Chain A
Amino acid sequence: MIVEVTDVHKRFGDNEVLKGVSVSVEIGEVIAIIGASGSGKSTLLRAINGLETIDDGEILVNGVEVHDRRSAHKVHQHVGMVFQQFNLFPHLTALDNASLALRKVKKMSTARANEVAMAALTRVGLADKAKSYPQSLSGGQQQRVAIARALAMQPQVMLFDEATSALDPELVGEVTKVMRELAAEGMTMLVVTHEMGFARETADRVLFFDNGVIGEEGSPERLFTAPENPRLQQFLRRILEK
């Protein structure tokens, strides 16, 4: 097990957003997390890499407790995260975005860091944009740089938090293409997404989040063709109507 989430609870004030969530992720597994806004799916991802604290339960990444202050920093090196809003560093070129942590965290020489960063940019098809600043890139390109930035650190798990939700519809494809390639290469991925097509075709397992709990989980074939949970049936109907 690369990620082991056990009975996690999380409250924001009076609002309990995670009400006892447990998930185990095996190496190489691609998990799609679907569900309505506010159902707790993003909070779970953010808890897995320590961006949110948890009130109860346990999260292990590679056997290391994420919410233990002494070990938390180790987790970040193993877990890559891609955000809805890209969060690229606007003052750095695409290459420097991808090489910054290599230099500062992995203490690589600039030459070596640039090599690794360049390889990551090549992987997302943006080697020719290495010297560009985020501002001059399209949304899709920015998100691909953000993926390269995370990949450069050679994470064992990649988390995608609605990575395509902020993109114009015609730019979604170039980002999901990169994500599909990663999945095909055997990357372990947890993907919070509204792209049902992606979930259906790429995921090994789909989790349906409903009001802070996992309402239903299973293979994409089963969940999308024969959902049992009435809330999931309703959710899928609403999405398909769009």
Chain B
Amino acid sequence: MSDWQHIWDARGLLLSGLLATLALVAGSIMTSTILGFVVGFLRYRRIPVVNVVLRVYLEIFRGTPLLVQLLFIYFGAAYLRLDWVTVFIASLVGMTLFNGAYISEIFRGGFEAVPTGQREAATTLGLSRFHITKDVVFPQTLPVVLPPLFSQYLQLIKNTSLASVISYFDIVRQGQAIIDQGANSFDVYLVVAIMFFVISYPLSLLARALEKRIVTRRERVA
């Protein structure tokens, strides 16, 4: 039996790995974006005590490897006998905290890039703080935030592979299972790599399209 035949026969495993990876990608993009937005906004507002707490969070999760964080969360939950923390939940929490830290800095930078004159003008028009943030500041952060945000998402997609270490059955883990059945590891990892690329590339295209849309909308002359 040829190797390719072997991999083709095991396509069910790869497909379920693909679904598992997609679930973790979709879930952690959502949660880490929400977390990053909130943390980034709070840091931008520089609320005294909160700011210190967030700094500590940021330094810890940017200063330690994601792999170690995943192991720590997974085995930490087991140690604390938190039975509801499945491999998926542990992976999701780790991915969220890790990427949320980076994403928060992206959002903070975006907020800070908006000149203070914008807030002042909005204030003199009588807009509430909520509307100033939602209708004046936030839309202006988008062109600044989108490129680094999408590049963080691309990182995130590839980083989900680390969850295989705490036996999350993603593409990598399923690939390893196929290798264990005797398939050639080079061929299998080639397929695994291609599968990751197939997930990442559309996102990369989407990022470019969004960026272009924002730029042209602004430059359009009526």
Residues of A within 8 A of B (CB): 49-51, 73, 76-77, 79-81, 83, 85, 87-91, 93, 100-101, 104-105, 129-133, 135-136, 146, 149-150, 153
Other contacts beyond A85-B117, A87-B120: 7, CB < 8 A: A73-B128, A80-B124, A81-B121, A91-B140, A93-B222, A105-B126, A132-B221
Q: Please tell me which one of the listed residues A89, A101, A133 contacts residue B126 in the complex, with CB atoms under 8 A apart.
A: A101
Is A149 a contact of B125 with CB atoms below 8 Å? yes
Assess whether B135 is in contact with A104, with CB atoms less than 8 Å apart.
Answer: yes
How far is B122's CA from A150's CA once the two chains are assembled, in angstroms?
10
Question: Which of B121, B128, B222 has a CB less than 8 Å from the CB of A87?
Answer: B121
Number of A-B pairs whose CB atoms are under 8 Å?
Answer: 77
Q: A79 near B121 (CB under 8 angstroms)?
A: no
> Are A135 and B218 closer than 8 Å at their CB atoms?
yes
> In the complex the two chains form, what is the Cα distance from A83 to B117 in whole Å?
8
In the complex, are the beta carbons of A101 and B221 less than 8 A apart?
Answer: no
A51 partner residues in chain B, CB cutoff 8 A: 120, 123-124
Given known A-B contacts A91-B218, A135-B218, A76 and B139 have beta carbons under 8 A apart: no
Out of A90, A129, A131, A150, name the residue touching B125 (CB < 8 Å): A150
Which residues of B from 89 to 139 have beta carbons under 8 Å from A? 115, 117-118, 120-128, 131, 135-136, 139
Minimum CB–CB distance from A110 to chain B (whole Å) comes to 13
In the complex, what's the smallest C-beta–C-beta distance from B103 to chain A, in angstroms? 22
Does B81 reach chain A (CB closer than 8 Å)? no
Question: Could you say which residues of chain A place their CB within 8 Å of the CB of B115?
Answer: 87
- B222 contacts A73, C-beta separation under 8 Å: no
Chain A residues, Cβ within 8 Å of B131: 104-105
18 A/B residue pairs, CB under 8 Å, sorted by A: A51-B120, A76-B125, A77-B126, A81-B124, A83-B121, A88-B121, A89-B118, A89-B121, A100-B125, A100-B136, A101-B125, A104-B128, A131-B222, A132-B221, A133-B220, A136-B220, A149-B125, A153-B126
